[in-house]
Structure 1
């Protein structure tokens, strides 16, 4: 299996336009498990066996002796508790294995091992040859899942790749390519964290994984201290990416990432005896873990600012804590009394972490595969120079009779390649509509060439009809505002009084309006502050200076408000900026208010956002509801 070259995550894939989509999932709380290391004895280099200060109560609870009052205990409850006799398989099957299925749905997952130095984090994540840890077991199962789901005949083709890095003294180092030097952490427009230049290796089997991972693990920085002969001096992050490509139309693409993180342990330099370089390493580790605690506190308390950027570690974990990943935190603790304060600190951190809420979503895009250069024509079709005399030329976009079997894919790809994003979205939605009508209506993207072209022509005719109706609507609007004025076709626009408001009528009512008189159309208008019946054009001219507002169909008005409310509750900063009167600053204020107080119950709740006044909300409603009503009334 050839290794992939060094690339940046999230790069472009060819010249074919892709329509990004994301399907939000229910919020997911960070799952927290606690694992208790066995007591160390003489065989571990410790003189005598100390008394344990931790005791498990059941599979979810434990208690710690209160050092201030030995008659009292501090009780904790988590999603799972694994005692001294727990095996590697029990920890993996209970805490990690259930989240692997989310990767096949195009979602992210994350596993973090946290705890003080010497508590068994690396053993939990890596294990040994006899007792494999979380990382080898997760890769074994994940490769088996992708092999089964991506087999021939299945709808999705699977590809798995891996990257491995460490954060050592605030430097991001590529363990698969140690000569790369210090790398930077970036964030793309969608908010995804990526490391440009990070080596990415394609793996198709567990043997491929071992061939890349084992040499890279030896590149990780370790050192000896008084508490641990092989103490991790850096935070290690294994990134496994699962890419899925749909084999048939509409050629969806999904991408899920699995973060397997072995954190370095916090250290008390008085006990570890660190000096020189070890002291500097310990300072960097403790600083990054301190920022990690600040991040968890900010998320737990709902603060508007989360200090992700204060450390390379928290920047890398931005998706795992408070982001879009299904996260699992495995807290490793030591039972000895000399580790009492470290154990208490770790348990308190775990208790705060289980209150952190992540918001996963499916990473999906529509990306038709691009045609390879020079392969647009059928392999078996004769060259143009050798075409028999008298045989007509092939029409553009059609294949020769010899390659009829390749016609659907060839014609489809050639048409999709020339479409823009908007047309592609409408075509796919039309295809889904036909699918929902039953088996008698074949999908657009799988029909033969002639039928597909006929459907495309129907779509074009429908667009032309909509355009004609819109022009007729404008003409009727002008006639309503000034019945005596001579009107011209829409191709010759005339100036209208600025004191009047455009009347937006649903297209379903146009047939009635066309046959009705101007007096019937004027009934759709209502005077501000009072209801008044307009009897004739003469009365309208007498009150020409008075302002009028339009009477919108209540159903369309409610639909417009619902769409705006849904966008306020679920839209990203980029989506919110598409609304009129909403800029970058207001979009971020709305996002921050939503994170603190939950979803908006009504559009008028925008007044509660700091920096947005009631007058601005009224202006925002007037402009955006009008635009949504216009769009809904013009949509087929």
Structure 2
């Protein structure tokens, strides 16, 4: 007979059962007989309604036993899973508390089937929506809830490659996840649709489900490539005083499955998606470990998924984890990993509380949290002890009398006070009196006076030096003033923009700014271009500085533009990257645009490429034309 080793012997110390701890259910997918299984049979089997066992891979004659809140075998139906694990927590939502249900497990284990199901076998999401609408209708019919209104809104999103995407409005891309002052997680600008019946829910949900990212792999023809989250918010509002409002949220989460790329055959974009999925699930496991170990920092922010599940794991929600596993031997290690995660999740304890707001007539809504309720209870208990004589009432606070009116003081005292105030303001050049002996105070005042005299001497010395420099500059200008109509072009002053320009090219290019009273023109060798003074006024002053204009030969300009256009239309990725201002990313964009729209008719068509603005286009032309001339 096979020996059984209890998982509790090797796992961490489990916490005592509490009503708010995370409840874990395990669902075993039916066994699919495969040709390569060689009649090995399943590696997992159920023991009872809460226990299962799996073969110990170290010793095939032993099994490891796990115990959870619920175990659903191969013959369990969708209704069994829903009634046994999900239905008991729905009542909390109508009482202003949060709840969450998420399916976890490796790819191909049946998570999406558990959450969505089919028209013949509906899953958790459609069944939960039907029951919530049914519960609200029953509450409206009761006399104690006749003054209450119920509003149900839905939001639907997916986390794809660490980006939060709105499935109801696909235009909403990469939404942020925020936390309000009450530590509640929310997503700004996430679409919320008000639904009054299950038909309205289907009208919104079915088109949104088609926006979710799925793809085919070797293990699953419709593999989920993202984590999807359906958020339902139920607001229960009172129409009469004190106008209470209860807000409950339900998170229905279908996690993407962990993947072994050696078996799925992922390549390209599928491989990138698989990496993002496995990374987020790894962070999820780290969060559970940190909660169980009581670490001071929980790594919720390391992943968008764990950030969104912050209320569900160690937060304020009633949480249920439905772990889906496969019985085949080839999925053994995926199944074992999922069972270990489920065993750790069972030890996490949440602290749910009722979210209630109260609004009296003519007053601003005030949120009643559990801390406020505790303080009110303490005040009430203290008041009752005082009334029963068990505690003495506190002494009433005596209000301090205001300062005496100056008119009621003796005139002599007033004069002395005013004289003292004048001394405090004017003594020691405005410096306040220090609580120091008189001798030290006088020494300090002497040091201050000496410092002020030294500062005045330095200022006078500075003025003398400035005057001397001004006189020298005036005399030098008058002696060196000679007309000069031509200018020798020196190297090293004109920075050519081309990256591969040599030292010889740099030596041909800059105009040194000189003070002259006549229009100035510099001609480069080979008649490549001219630089002219644009100022009409020949006088040069500090207010009217010289401006230079670059003029290029027209034939040469056309030739270089033609060369650049030819390179844009026929160049490879490596050749495009030789252009100025064109890197690897822009070169790829140019190639993609050229394949879709054909060749460029003119260089200015480069602005039509996404990611290249008009300003970048002007910089591109200037850099490449001057660079071509430099060659």
Shorter-chain TM-score bucket reads 0.5 to 0.7
The corresponding residue for 1:219 is 211
Seen in structure 2, the aligned counterparts of structure 1 residues 162 and 72 have a Cα distance that, compared at 3 Å, is same
- 1:165 corresponds in structure 2 to 157
Deviations 1:64-99 (A, max 9, x none): 011221110000000000000000000000000000
Q: Give the superposition deviation at 1:147.
A: 2.1
Q: Which residue number in structure 2 is paired with residue 233 of structure 1?
A: 225
CA distance in 2, matches of 1:71, 1:420: 59
Which of 70, 74, 82 is the aligned partner of 1:84?
Answer: 74
Counterpart-to-counterpart distance in 2, 1:46 and 1:69 = 22
Give deviations 1:88-126, integer Å, cap 9, x for gaps: 000000000000000011000000100000000000000
Task: Find the aligned partners of 2:335 and 2:366 in 1 and give their Cα distance.
Answer: 60
Within 2, Cα distance between the matches of 1:78 and 1:420?
37
The within-5 A match list for 1:198-347 is: 198-347=190-339
CA distance in 2 between partners of 1:140 and 1:41 (Å)? 36
Larger Rg: 2
- What is the deviation of 1:288? 0.3
Higher relative contact order (CA 8 A, sep 6+): 1
**Match status 1:359 vs 2:351:** yes
Count how many residue pairs are aligned between Structure 1 and Structure 2.
369
Distance, in Å, in 2 between the alignment partners of 1:83 and 1:244 is: 38
The correspondence for 1:30, drawn from 22, 35, 38, is: 22
SS of residue in 2 equivalent to 1:305: coil
> Equivalent residue for 2:608?
none
Deviation at 1:232, TM superposition (A): 0.3
Unaligned runs of 5+ in 2: 1-17, 381-392, 406-631
| Other structure's SS at 2:219 match | coil
1:120 aligns to 2:114 (yes or no): no
Whether contact under 8 Å (1:149, 1:158) holds in the other structure is no
Query: What is the RMSD of the two structures over their aligned residues, measured on CA atoms?
Result: 2.9
1:417, 1:267 → 2: CA distance?
A: 51
Contact between 1:166 and 1:237, CA under 8 Å: does it hold in 2? yes
Over 3 Å counting, the alpha-carbon distance change for 1:50 and 1:208 in structure 2 is: farther
Contact 2:359–2:366 at 8 Å: present in 1 too?
no
Q: Offset at 1:194?
A: 0.5
Q: 2:138 aligns with which of 133, 148, 170?
A: 148
In the TM superposition, what is the alpha-carbon distance from 1:196 to its structure 2 partner?
A: 0.4
Alpha-carbon shift at residue 148 of structure 1 (Å):
2.1
Partners in 2 of 1:328 and 1:493 — Cα distance?
Answer: 69
Q: Does 1:54 align with 2:44?
A: yes
Q: By how many angstroms is 1:235 displaced? A: 0.1
CA distance in 1, matches of 2:171, 2:39: 45
Question: Deviation at 1:49?
Answer: 6.5
Deviation of 1:327 after TM superposition, in Å, equals 0.2
* 1:47/1:298 CA distance change after superposition, 3 Å: closer
2:253 is paired with a residue of what secondary structure? strand
Superposition TM-score, scaled by structure 1 size: 0.55
- Residues 178-222 of structure 1 show CA distances to partners (whole Å, capped at 9, x for unaligned) of 011110100001001000010000011000100000100010000
* 1:191 aligned onto 2:183: yes
| Aligned: 1:135 with 2:121 | no
Deviation at 1:167, TM superposition (A): 0.2
Provide the rounded CA distance (Å) in 2 between the counterparts of 1:195 and 1:201. 15
Q: What residue number does 1:106 align with?
A: 96
Hey, what does 2:87 align to over in structure 1?
97
Determine if contact 1:41/1:48 at 8 Å carries over to the other structure: no
Q: Distance in 2 between matches of 1:84 and 1:33?
A: 14
| Runs (4+) off by over 6 Å | 45-49, 417-421
Whole-Å separation in 2 of the counterparts to 1:34 and 1:49: 25
Q: Is the 8 A contact 1:151 1:157 kept in 2?
A: no
Q: Distance in 2 between matches of 1:348 and 1:213?
A: 33
2:53 aligns with one of 43, 60, 63 = 63
Change (3 A) 1:135 1:46: farther
* Counterpart contact for 1:34–1:333, Cα < 8 Å: yes
Deviation at residue 417 of structure 1 after TM alignment: 6.4
Q: 1:312 to 1:493 in 2, by over 3 A?
A: farther
Structure 2 distance, partners of 1:281, 1:273, is: 13
Question: Over residues 141-182 of structure 1, what are the superposed CA-to-partner deviations in whole Å (9 max), with x where a residue is unaligned?
Answer: 011111222348524211100000000000000000001111
Are the counterparts in 2 of residues 186 and 195 from structure 1 also a CA contact under 8 Å? yes
Counterpart CA distance in 2 for 1:346 and 1:96 is 20
C-alpha separation in 1, matches of 2:155 and 2:399: 58
1:318 Cα deviation (Å)?
0.4
1:313 is paired with a residue of what secondary structure? helix
* Cα 1:420–1:364 shift into 2, 3 Å: closer
> 1:40·1:46 contact (CA, 8 Å) conserved in 2?
no
1:39, 1:49 within 8 Å by CA — same for their partners in 2? no
**CA distance in 1: counterparts of 2:38 and 2:255, whole angstroms:** 29
Describe the superposition over 1:545-575 as per-residue Cα deviations: whole angstroms up to 9, x where unpaired: xxxxxxxxxxxxxxxxxxxxxxxxxxxxxxx
- Change in CA separation of 1:47 and 1:32 when aligned onto 2, cut-off 3 Å: closer
Q: Which residue of 2 aligns with 1:533?
A: none
**Secondary structure in structure 2 of the residue aligned to 1:330:** strand
Matching of residues 395-406 of structure 1 within 5 Å? none
Q: Secondary structure of the equivalent of 1:85?
A: coil
**Which secondary structure state, in structure 2, belongs to the residue aligned with residue 327 of structure 1?**
strand
Q: Which residue is 1:560 aligned to?
A: none
